[in-house]
Amino acid sequence: MAVPTKPATSPRSAKLDVAGALKDAGLTAFVAFGLFSLMLGLRTETGSTGRLEIFPRPGLLATAVAAVFAGRLMIALIARSRVAADIGRSLQAMTPEFKKLDRFATPVLLSLVLLTPVLLYSEHYLLAGILVLAYILFRWGLAPALLALALLLPILFYSNRYLLDLGILVLTYIMLGWGLNIVVGLAGLLDLGYVAFYAVGAYAYALLAQNFGLSFWICLPLAGILAAFWGVMLGFPVLRLRGDYLAIVTLAFGEIIRIVIVNWQSLTNGPNGISGIPRPSFFGLPFNDSEEGFAAHFGLEFNPVHRIIFLFYLILALALLTNFVTLRLRRLPIGRAWEALREDEIACRSLGINTTNTKLTAFAMGAMFGGFAGSFFATRQGFISPESFVFMESALVLAIVVLGGMGSQLGVAIAAVVMIGGFEFFRQFEQFRMLVFGIAMVSIMVWRPRGLIATRMPSVFLQEKKIIPADIIDEARQ
């Protein structure tokens, strides 16, 4: 669409247009002053009298406005000079050189991989792991390398409990992302209340396990079925609605579920949540230091990290199951119907596809995987409360799906790693974490509106498989 082009960015202005850049930055700083004047310049605080009082903070305001001025000036100068264009051009010129290097990459890496046994023998496990991963990355691409990384992570970082926990968290979001991808990415239905199914799964496991003493392995499918059932219950009346109405109804449903959980004290214990949820067992062997525990049975020394590693592989298996089912379903008539529905609903109807049933199956499938992820969440945490199932979670999962490039399984995985990993990275700046997270969400979207992986592989093709570039995909016309 019409984005106004700045006159000074034209290649004719060879000289730096400092005056223009200064004016630009000055205007921006003026707007920033207006935005920040009251909000940053004055702080309301309960004073000694118990009433709100106002404290001026001129220093902070000046710093913020100066920072905006400097930042904008820099951007304007770079945009107005030819530096950016020059760098871009030289990078482009270097691309063939990089391609030439590619030829040497495989033999070099292969010879390095041959070193692995030596490294393993000398107990440099981390280095050996990195070599193997690099080889896989260059030989087969990003997706197998990520999978190998996931498989190797508990072995490489056996003692790093923090990293394992982070890995489990990222994998949970990858699984949720893949589940929601069925609904949003494949069927093109905008779901803003996905967390509801996550909550249904979590509470289903918690309540079934506590009240009936059922084991995790019986509860897992039950939780999935219950979530899918809720998906159908919700989907049946509302799926005839157009995209944005569907979005708001799903959002409302997510909120309703949360409010009911908060207020139905006798069943869910309300806002206090459910604690003491049974931990998973290794096919009947509990992870404790008793005689019949996991460690004793396999003759290992008891170590609490065993359970973490088991949870890690459990969620990895669940996520891979989601991925596998999705990829297989895409080839079935129902999967093709989903994708056709996303592209053009009217055409679908004229071709005799039952759109309601098709949408309903997509909704139920997505809900089922959300339910699985929910019961995994419950068993991992051992404690659940309505606070874990707020709208933010739905928004986060949806952001992962959209930022990854809707419909792309690999994109979802990358986006989950970037978002959740990046979120953890800012943990030391606790206060600014969410702010940075929001800014990142906006900037990634502005930078790549179609997500990180914007191309699309057709699941059905004639003769030859061609990648569909992003700019010709007309997303979710409804």
Partner 1 sequence: MEYFLQQLINGIALGSIYGLVAIGYTMVYGIIGMINFAHGDVFMVGAFLALIAFLALLAIGVTAIPLALFLVLIVAMLLTALYGWAVERLAYRPLRGSHRLAPLISAIGMSIVLQNYVQIAQGARVKPLPPLIPGGYTLIEGGGFAVQVSNVQIIIVVTTLALMTVFSWLVSATRLGRNMRACEQDLKMASLIGVDIDRTISLTFVIGAALAAVAGIMYLLYYGVIDFFIGFIAGVKAFTAAVLGGIGSLPGAMLGGLLIGLIETFWSAYFSAEYKDVAAFSILVLVLIFMPTGILGRPEVEKV
The yes or no reply on residue 469 touching partner 1 (CB under 8 A) is no
Residue 240 interacts with partner 1 (CB under 8 A): yes or no? yes
From 27-35, 209-217, 367-375, 377-385, give the range in contact with partner 1 by CB under 8 A. 27-35
31 is an interface residue for partner 1 by CB under 8 A: yes
d(CA 443, CA 357): 37
Decide: is 356 part of the binding site for partner 1 (CB under 8 A). no
Report the candidate in 274, 247, 234 with the shortest Cα–Cα distance to residue 391. Answer: 247
- Binding part of the chain for partner 1, among 90-98, 109-117, 233-241, 326-334 by CB under 8 A, reads 233-241
Q: How far is the CB of 263 from partner 1 (least distance, A)?
A: 4
**Quick one: 128 or 199, whose CB is closer to partner 1?**
199
CA distance 286 to 237: 43
Letter for the amino acid at 306?
A: H
Mask for 258-277, x = binds partner 1 (CB under 8 A) = -xx-xx--------------
**Helices and strands (H and E) in the chain: how many:** 19, 4
Interaction of residue 363 with partner 1, rule CB under 8 A: no
Residue 343 found at the interface with partner 1 (CB under 8 A): no
Nearer Cβ to partner 1 (145/399): 399
Binding mask 35-74 for partner 1 (x = CB under 8 A): x-xxxx-xxxxx----xxxx--------------------
Amino acid making up residue 376:
F
Q: Which is nearer to partner 1, 314 or 406 (CB)?
A: 406
Q: Are 424 and 439 in contact (CB under 8 A)?
A: no
Listed in sequence order, the residues at least 6 apart from 73 whose beta carbon sits closer than 8 Å to its beta carbon are 21, 22, 24, 25
Binding mask 185-204 for partner 1 (x = CB under 8 A): -----x--------------
Q: Cβ of residue 343: shortest distance to partner 1, in angstroms?
A: 12
Residue 298 contacts by C-beta under 8 Å, 6 or more apart in sequence? none
CB of 413 to partner 1, least distance (A): 18
Task: Fill in the per-residue mask, 427 to 456: x = in contact with partner 1 (CB under 8 A), - = not in contact.
Answer: ----xx-xx-xxxxxx--xx--xx------
Dihedral, CA of residue 261, residue 376, residue 272 and residue 366, to nearest 10: -20
CA distances from 380 to 98, 143, 309, 313 (A): 45, 26, 11, 12
- 387 touching partner 1, by CB under 8 A: no
The answer to the question of residue 93 lying near partner 1 (CB under 8 A) is no
| Both tokens assigned to 28 | 């921006």
237 binds partner 1 (CB under 8 A): yes
Mark the segment that binds partner 1 (CB under 8 A) among 129-137, 248-256, 298-306, 358-366.
248-256
Question: Rounded distance, CA 174 to CA 372, Å?
Answer: 13
410 three-state secondary structure: helix
Query: Is 176:370 a contact under the CB 8 Å cutoff?
Result: yes
C-alpha to C-alpha distance for 190 and 363, rounded to whole angstroms:
10
User: Of these, 4, 11, 96, 299, which contacts partner 1 (CB under 8 A)?
Assistant: 4
Helix residue spans in 303-344 (DSSP H): 305-331, 333-343
The interaxial angle of helices 83-113 and 58-80, nearest 10 deg, is: 90
Which position among 78, 133, 134, 238 is part of the footprint of partner 1 (CB under 8 A)? 238
Using CB under 8 A as the binding rule, whether residue 27 contacts partner 1 is answered as no
Look-up of token digits 């700083």: 29
The smaller minimum CB distance to partner 1, of residues 90 and 431, is found at: 431
CA distances, 10 to each of 5, 72, 81, 294 (Å): 9, 19, 10, 69
Residue 188 neighbours by CB distance under 10 Å: 24
Residue range at the interface with partner 1 (CB under 8 A); choices 153-161, 210-218, 250-258, 455-463: 250-258
Question: Length of the chain, please?
Answer: 478
According to the binding rule CB under 8 A, does residue 347 interact with partner 1? yes
Write out the binding residues for partner 1, residues 150-179 only, by CB under 8 A: none
| Residue 355 or 381 having the CB closest to partner 1 | 355
Name which of 110 and 347 has its Cβ closer to partner 1. Answer: 347
Q: Is 14 in the site for partner 1 (CB under 8 A)?
A: no
Q: Does 252 bind partner 1 (CB under 8 A)?
A: yes
Amino acid at 293: G
Written as six digits, the tokens of 390 are: 């707020």
| Alpha helices (H) in 56-184, listed in sequence order | 58-80, 83-113, 116-121, 125-140, 142-156, 161-181
Q: Cβ closer to partner 1: 206 or 249?
A: 249
**Contact residues: partner 1, CB under 8 A:** 1-4, 31, 34-35, 37-40, 42-46, 51-54, 184, 190, 237-238, 240-245, 247-249, 251-253, 255-256, 259-260, 262-263, 346-347, 391-392, 395, 398-399, 402-403, 406, 431-432, 434-435, 437-442, 445-446, 449-450, 473-476
